[in-house]
Amino acid sequence: MSQIIDRRLNPKHKSAVNRQRFLKRFRKQIRKAVSDAVDGRSVTDTESSEKITIPAKDLSEPVFHHGPGGRREIIHPGNKDFITGDRIPRPDGGAGQGGRASNQGEGMDDFVFELSRDEFLEFFFEDLELPDLVKTKLAKEVTHKSVPAGFAKDGIPPNLHIVRSLKEAQARRIALTMASRRKLKELEKTLAELEEDGADEETRRDLQKKIDLLKAKIAAVPFIDTLDLRYRNRIKIPKPTTQAVMFCLMDVSGSMDQYKKNLAKRFFLLLYLFLSRNYERTDVVFIRHHTVAKEVDEEEFFYSRETGGTVVSSALEMMRDIIRERYPSQDWNIYAAQASDGDNWPEDSGNCSRLLEEEIMPYLQYYAYIEIDNDYPLGLWQEYEKVAGHWPNFAMQAIDEPADIYPVFRELFKKKA
Amino acid sequence: MSEKKPITTSSEWTFPLLERFDAEIARIAEDFGLDTYPNQIEVISSEQMMDAYASCGLPVYYHHWSFGKQFLSIEKNYKRGQMGLAYELVINSNPCIAYLMEENTMLMQALVIAHACYGHNSFFKNNYLFKTWTSADAIVDYLVFAKNYISECEERYGEEAVEEILDACHALMNYGVDRYRKPPPLSLKEEQLRQKERAEYLQSQVNELWLKTVPQKLSKTSESAERYPAEPEENLLYFIEKNAPLLEPWQREIVRIVRKIAQYLYPQRHTKVMNEGWATFWHYTILNQLYEEGLITDGFMLEFLETHTNVVYQPPFDSKFYSGINPYALGFTMMRDIQRICQNPTEEDKRWFPDIAGSPWLETLDFTMRNFKDDSFIAQYLSPTVIREFKLFSVLDDDEEEELEITAIHNDEGYQEIRHQLSEHYNLGNLEPDIQVYSVDARGDRSLTLRHYQHNRRPLAESSDEVLKHVYRLWGFKVRLETVDPNGKVKWCVECGT
């Protein structure tokens, strides 16, 4: 006797707890993998999940088993031309197994799995040591706003629209009684004619009966029915936000090595995340510079190397020009993030602060500057400190590791919270 | 041929159709004399199937990161289409729980019902290993108990502490089975009642043991005192549960839980070929019967044959798909072969199997299913016909020789040898290193000595060091692992702990 049960509606993800346990246990490895992944992914790519690779040896579950060596006899199927006593050379690399697919199941391939977007961001934020409030704000999906959107057949009593409902009821009553009323009219007319003609009692009584029946039928149509009810409807639409442009400025002179660039990348990524949460559309402009500035795409921005001196003002000039040409400040919220190791041509630093104070800062929402590895703050740092004194929306920070990045934005995140 | 109308011609399944098929299959199974537990057939989605997979197919299991790892890799392979999920999963319980995936076609559902609900089910109920080592009535209750107990421990002692014990136990899981003793049947209530008593009692026992063993005199005469344990113990987890000096009662209980579950899973590892062979034989026989009675159409039959052929395909050793002998193929072929020997024995069969050639096949197969496990089954029933069909050959790999040697092929001289070697290959005693508790230095530093009795000079793999760390974690004092050659000489030794 069998019993058949439909379990499809039972909760799935019975293994969710086990998955969390797994992520927790290999936190260290996953963090490293996430960190590597950030180096490899685009600044504007904050929505996709990520493939994480962990070396197999880190998560092996050891058991006692035989190693290669010793003497053993193995049976295989599908003999073609071997005969007893044949001697064949030991295949390479297959100590013991005769080179054929191992049945020990001890492959040392790396363990690869997908981290969801949320999990990925969580690890990324952890790397940056973001405060929880900021984390939730950044990880949040698009916010919605509820707006009126006509009428609906379902709803809650407070949203009932009475006039609309009664209109519906009236229409229904008219529609449902139309045929009967037309017939009634005819019958009444006939009756009146019969009465005038003085027809016999029985015919008139018959007619009267039919008339009564029709009247009852019309009366039986309810005045209002549940299907007449109309409710005010509201729908959620994405919160209307405006557009922002983010300028990424980076020094690519010889002294900026890949480590510094990767650190800078996290800085840009964090700002981008912030902007993409707060604005419907976010443009990114990459400007790299050594002695001359150049607008480039992301690939070139992070991965090409140049040598030579450093003139920071060239980048600032270019940014100013781009703002004038393409991003009028009445239409765009303009943010800028600059990363550098502090090197600058000494005579140029004054230019920079002048450019910033007079031609750039008035149009900007926020300017964030990080200086990587500045053991000896140079001219640029000092000039920028002056700018920071005059403009509260100018933030600067010297950083050595990813955890130092967040404080640059502290004010920014606080303001919008 | 069609005495009846086919049950359905659509490949979509519905619940009424499932019931109808189940009823027909049950009738046929009964005609063939299959003795089964009642069935509980559960239809699940592919995500749920992945969940079930990740926890060894058990319906309820405690939480552990390794199941999460398992799940992630299954999910990845499945989503990328590198791996299909099994069509079914069946649990050795009473009632026998079988999972059907909702994606299956009607024919597949029928096949799975025949395979799992009547094939595996009757094997679980009647094979001597399962009868001896598992109690199908109590397992679900026990798993519930285990899950609750472990999550209680996590609340009380922290996830990490529990995880540490579980990790260590999992490393020794294969060495947590009794091979020669019958475990008492358990039920949820009994288990909960007895657990507390047991914990207290055990702890007092252990204290007493160590009180007794505190060195009284430093005289050398006590050296000759008897060894502890008096006899070597092959169930490492059992020994640790009963004797590890420093474990808390709850830790002992966790060791016990892992050990019990290992014991429950133990017969499955011993009967892979037989169990799958038996179930495949029956789905094949039952589906053919359905076809003969006109209950399924030609189209169904074609779909069935295609699936079945894939299931019992054995790639040759030089194929890129080769990964050892396919238990479905070997088991099915041998079961069919026994049926053939009973029905149409050749002269050769009569010489090799005088006692079954020409006997009634149903009875003979039934006897086989009840009384064997993989190695004895092969040793008894692997016939020259099957050896020829698989073109089996035997390769000797000796690290003292330059080259590999072909020691036997599928000819008259080779049959016995191949049968013997293949049977050895399924003997778990040979597959896993033979490691036993040898002694405890009860009068000295309380160190635990494990001995690996070497067979055919085969060494332990490198991971043994890691496993030893887990043993040390459980034992709490120094742990030594010695490899002993057949002459009793210690060849190699590794220690862990201080």
The per-residue pLDDT for range B290-343, each reduced to its tens digit, is 999 999 999 999 999 998 998 899 999 988 888 889 999 999 999 999 999 999
Q: Characterize the bridge pairing of strands A394-399 and A366-372.
A: parallel
**Alpha-carbon separation of residue A93 from A110, B401, B403 (angstroms):** 19, 16, 14
Residues of A in contact with B50 (CB under 8 A): 15
DSSP letters of B153-218? HHHHH-HHHHHHHHHHHHHTGGG---SS-PPPP--HHHHHHHHHHHHHHHHHHHHHHHHHHS----
Q: What is the pLDDT of residue A411?
A: 67
Query: Strand pairing partners for B88?
Result: B100
Report the half-sphere exposure of A412 (CA within 13 A, side-chain side).
Answer: 28
Q: What is the pLDDT of residue B223?
A: 47
- The model's pLDDT over B446-461, given as tens digits with 9 standing for 90+, comes to 899 999 998 888 888 8
Q: Flag whether pLDDT at B26 surpasses 50.
A: yes
Count CB neighbours of B21 within 10 A.
23
Please check whether residues B347 and B418 belong to one and the same domain: yes
Residue B199 lies in a domain: no
- The model's pLDDT over A106-163, given as tens digits with 9 standing for 90+, comes to 344 677 787 877 788 778 777 776 666 566 656 655 567 778 888 888 888 888 999 9
Q: Characterize the bridge pairing of strands B403-408 and B434-440.
A: unpaired
Q: Flag whether pLDDT at B127 surpasses 60.
A: yes
pLDDT interval class at A265 (50, 70, 90): confident
Looking at A270-274, B33-37, B92-96, B374-378, which range is the least confident one?
A270-274
Name the nearest CA neighbour of B277 among B302, B303, B306, B314. Answer: B314
Nearest residue of chain A to residue B18 (CA atoms): A4
Q: Flag whether pLDDT at B209 surpasses 80.
A: no
Q: Flag whether pLDDT at B115 surpasses 70.
A: yes
Name the nearest CA neighbour of B10 among B86, B18, B2. Answer: B18
Tell me the nearest-neighbour CA distance from B431 into chain A, angstroms: 8
Count of domains in chain B? 3
Task: Give A79: exposed, middle or buried? Use CB within 10 Å, 0-12, 13-18, 19+.
Answer: buried
Ranges assigned E (strand) in A120-230: 144-152
Inter-chain touch A8–B67, beta carbons under 8 Å: no
The answer, yes or no, to whether ipTM is higher than 0.90 is: no
What's the DSSP call for residue B345? Answer: -
**What CATH number was assigned to the domain covering residues A243-416?**
3.40.50.410
Ranges assigned E (strand) in A124-242: 144-152, 231-238
Inter-chain touch B404–A23, beta carbons under 8 Å: no
Q: What is the pLDDT of residue A103?
A: 38
User: What's the rounded Cα separation, in Å, for the pair B17 and B74?
Assistant: 31
Q: Does B225 touch chain A (CB under 8 A)?
A: no
Domain that holds residue B373: 312-429
pLDDT interval class at B247 (50, 70, 90): very high
Q: Once rounded to an integer, what is the mean pLDDT over residues A328-338?
A: 82
- The model's pLDDT over B421-430, given as tens digits with 9 standing for 90+, comes to 999 989 887 8
Q: What is the pLDDT of residue A208?
A: 87
**Alpha-carbon separation of residue A215 from A171, A182, A193, B348, B445 (angstroms):** 19, 11, 19, 98, 107
Please check whether residues B422 and B439 belong to one and the same domain: no
**Type of residue numbered B294:** G
User: What's the rounded Cα separation, in Å, for the pair A380 and B24?
Assistant: 87
Q: What is the pLDDT of residue A134?
A: 61
User: Which span out of A236-240, A372-376, B181-185 was modeled with the highest average pLDDT?
Assistant: A372-376
Residue B409 lies in a domain: yes
Q: What is the pLDDT of residue A94?
A: 44
Please check whether residues B392 and B447 belong to one and the same domain: no
What is the three-class DSSP state of B108?
Answer: helix
Please check whether residues B424 and B316 belong to one and the same domain: yes
| Mean confidence (pLDDT) of chain A | 80
pLDDT interval class at B186 (50, 70, 90): low
Q: Which of B39, B54, B404 sits opposite A3 (nearest CB)?
A: B39
Residue B263 lies in a domain: no
Please say whether the beta carbons of A88 and B403 come within 8 A. yes
Inter-chain touch B18–A4, beta carbons under 8 Å: yes
**Alpha-carbon separation of residue B137 from A167, B49, B190 (angstroms):** 66, 23, 13
Q: Flag whether pLDDT at A102 surpasses 50.
A: no
Residue B444 lies in a domain: yes
DSSP letters of A103-137? SS----PPEEEEEPHHHHHHHHHHHHT--HHHHHH
- The model's pLDDT over A200-213, given as tens digits with 9 standing for 90+, comes to 788 888 888 888 99
Q: Once rounded to an integer, what is the mean pLDDT over residues B476-487?
A: 90
> Would you give the end-to-end CA distance of chain B in angstroms?
78
Looking at A137-141, B4-8, B92-96, B135-139, which range is the least confident one?
A137-141
User: Which span out of A22-36, A178-192, B206-220 was modeled with the highest average pLDDT?
Assistant: A178-192
Pair of tokens at residue B394: 């035997």
Q: Flag whether pLDDT at A98 surpasses 60.
A: no
Nearest residue of chain A to residue B394 (CA atoms): A75
Q: Flag whether pLDDT at A92 surpasses 70.
A: no
Tell me the nearest-neighbour CA distance from B16 into chain A, angstroms: 10
Please check whether residues B375 and B458 belong to one and the same domain: no
Q: Once rounded to an integer, what is the mean pLDDT over residues B47-65?
A: 85
| Angle, in degrees to the nearest 10, between helices A348-355 and A312-326 | 20
**Type of residue numbered B78:** Y
Q: What is the pLDDT of residue B462?
A: 84
Please check whether residues B409 and B481 belong to one and the same domain: no
User: What's the rounded Cα separation, in Å, for the pair B369 and B59?
Assistant: 26
Q: Does A69 touch chain B (CB under 8 A)?
A: yes
Q: What is the pLDDT of residue A139?
A: 60
Residues of B in contact with A83 (CB under 8 A): 406, 409
Residue B225 lies in a domain: no
Please say whether the beta carbons of B409 and B395 come within 8 A. no
Q: Once rounded to an integer, what is the mean pLDDT over residues B180-196?
A: 71
Peptide bond into B95 cis (omega under 30): yes
User: What's the rounded Cα separation, in Å, for the pair B161 and B153?
Assistant: 9
Pair of tokens at residue B209: 């043991």
Q: Flag whether pLDDT at A334 surpasses 70.
A: yes
Looking at A100-109, A184-193, B200-209, B392-401, which range is the least confident one?
A100-109
Residue B141 lies in a domain: no
Residue with tokens 């007092």: B204
Q: Once rounded to an integer, what is the mean pLDDT over residues B396-415?
A: 89
Q: Once rounded to an integer, what is the mean pLDDT over residues A387-411?
A: 81
Task: Give A77: exposed, middle or buried? Use CB within 10 Å, 0-12, 13-18, 19+.
Answer: buried
Q: What is the pLDDT of residue B239?
A: 93
Instruction: Let me know the angle formed at the C-alpha of B455 by A102 and B429, rounded to the nearest 5 degrees.
Output: 70
pLDDT interval class at B7 (50, 70, 90): confident
Q: What is the pLDDT of residue A97?
A: 40
Please check whether residues B360 and B454 belong to one and the same domain: no
Q: What is the pLDDT of residue B281?
A: 96
Please say whether the beta carbons of B57 and A15 come within 8 A. no
What's the DSSP call for residue B233? Answer: B
Inter-chain touch B396–A17, beta carbons under 8 Å: no
Residue B472 lies in a domain: yes
pLDDT interval class at A104 (50, 70, 90): very low
What's the DSSP call for residue A99? Answer: T
Q: What is the pLDDT of residue B368?
A: 95
Q: Which of B79, B418, B462 sits opposite A75 (nearest CB)?
A: B418
Q: Once rounded to an integer, what is the mean pLDDT over residues B61-77?
A: 86
The contacts of residue B343 (CB under 8 Å, 6+ apart) are B361
Inter-chain touch A7–B39, beta carbons under 8 Å: no
Name the nearest CA neighbour of B482 among B454, B461, B445, B441. Answer: B454
